[in-house]
Amino acid sequence: AAAARSRGALVEAAGEERGAPASPAAAVDPWLNDTREMAFVNGSVITLREVRHAMGPAYEQYLDRREELAAFVNARVKDLVLRRLVIEEGKRIGFASSDEDLERETERAERKAAEAGSTLEQTLRDLGMTRREWDDRTRDDILYQRALFYFTGQFPDRFYAEDRYRPAVDFYVSPGEIRAYGARHGADLGVLRPAEATLRFIDLRVDAFRGAGVTDAEAWRRCERAMDGAEERIRDGESFADVAKAVSMGPEAPRGGLAGPFRRDSPLREEFLAWAFREGRKDGDLSPRFRLPSGLVLVRMERLEPERTSPIEEWAPAVRARLVDLKRTVAWNDVQIDLLEEASVSPPEVRALLLNQLRSNNRRLRDDLEGIAETAGSR
């Protein structure tokens, strides 16, 4: 029923009997009218049907949540406006999709549908899409991807003529830029590795010393004496790990009390972290006893790794790829801005919102790239 309504059927008035003829005055739900005009791009219309096809099954799922549906539709309309402009420009330059291209993409879609236990024909029925519509959209997808690669300089040089578009951004990334980006975004990239502490615990639970007729104070005294014995064994030369295996009651006891590594922001009790990362801490240090509501805990610093920088060989390839991607994103945004500035788009607020969004994104990206370039140049 939803699929039928989504293709423009009249919405039954409340209280109408099933099968009764629709009233001539019955209103068409605007969100179920496939012919509804959502935007115009250089005179060509984007209809709700095209938006629905782009959204897929999600459209039907949001029909009973109109505010959310409207937000999704508005976002998709903006995407389709840009897509339409890019495809038009690609055609103007001379791109086309061949029958062989379409056949290859069709075979890929059929394999994907088969993996999901369906068929391409069933997928099209679920979307309310004709085969002609699917073919046309697939050809447009091919054109869009080729145009994107072309406009971001990913075609060989011989494909760029002086009277056509040539990317204005240099995608070369210098070693200095790589180091500068690593310094700026080291934590996100794993370039800067924070200090890490691997610990061992002896965890004695006071509940284990309770029993019939044993007061709370006596249970704690027994727990204290047990910890005294554990510490004495360690002082006498027995390894902390062996003592932990023998007496600890925590989950890490079978591993000789070993746990971690932990960082300063790890989900561990604050008193343990404060002790572990106190200035001057070193391997082999023993903590004082920690008295917790659950019992007594003794901690040993097994291994402390200070904050350090990973070798540049480990992260430079990823940083270079990210910087190239950032520069291509700037170039791609510039292309879309140019196309929008020259285009006729209605409603005008769609064009204004897209221009504002693209310009804002590019200002942010350029600020980051310029800061990286300045840092690289000062080294």
User: 3-state SS of the chain: helix, strand, coil percent to 5?
Assistant: 55, 10, 30
Residue 138 near residue 105, CB atoms below 8 Å: yes
pLDDT at residue 4, rounded to an integer: 42
What are the boundaries of each domain within the chain? 2-94, 175-188+310-377, 195-306
Q: What is the mean pLDDT of residues 91-118?
A: 92
pLDDT at residue 160, rounded to an integer: 60
Q: What is the mean pLDDT of residues 248-258?
A: 92
**Mean pLDDT for the chain overall:** 85
Span of 104-113, 124-133, 184-193, 368-377 with lowest mean pLDDT: 184-193
Task: Flag whether pLDDT at 17 surpasses 60.
Answer: no
Task: Flag whether pLDDT at 260 surpasses 80.
Answer: yes
Residue 301 near residue 285, CB atoms below 8 Å: yes
Q: What is the mean pLDDT of residues 104-119?
A: 93
Task: Flag whether pLDDT at 267 surpasses 70.
Answer: yes
pLDDT at residue 19, rounded to an integer: 44
pLDDT at residue 27, rounded to an integer: 67
Q: What is the mean pLDDT of residues 275-290?
A: 92
CA atoms within a 13 Å half-sphere pointing along the CA-CB vector of 278: 11
Q: What is the mean pLDDT of residues 335-343?
A: 94
pLDDT more than 70, % of the chain = 86
Span of 27-41, 153-167, 169-183, 343-357 with lowest mean pLDDT: 153-167
Q: Which of 156, 127, 139 is nearest to 97 (CA)?
A: 139
Distance separating alpha carbons of residues 10 and 297, to the nearest angstrom: 72
Q: Which of 272, 266, 277 is nearest to 305 (CA)?
A: 277
Q: Which amino acid is at 137?
A: R
Task: Flag whether pLDDT at 366 surpasses 80.
Answer: yes
Q: For the residues of 104-126, what is the DSSP string, one character each?
A: HHHHHHHHHHHHTT--HHHHHHH
pLDDT more than 90, % of the chain = 57
Q: At the top level of CATH, which class does the domain 195-306 belong to?
A: alpha beta
Sign of CA dihedral 252, 258, 261, 266: positive
Task: Flag whether pLDDT at 104 surpasses 60.
Answer: yes
Q: What is the mean pLDDT of residues 279-307?
A: 92
Give the SS3 label for residue 288: coil
Whole-model pTM? Answer: 0.62
Give the pLDDT confidence of 177-211 residue by residue, as tens digits: 888 887 777 666 666 778 899 999 999 999 999 88
pLDDT at residue 262, rounded to an integer: 94
Give the pLDDT confidence of 45-62 residue by residue, as tens digits: 999 999 999 998 889 888
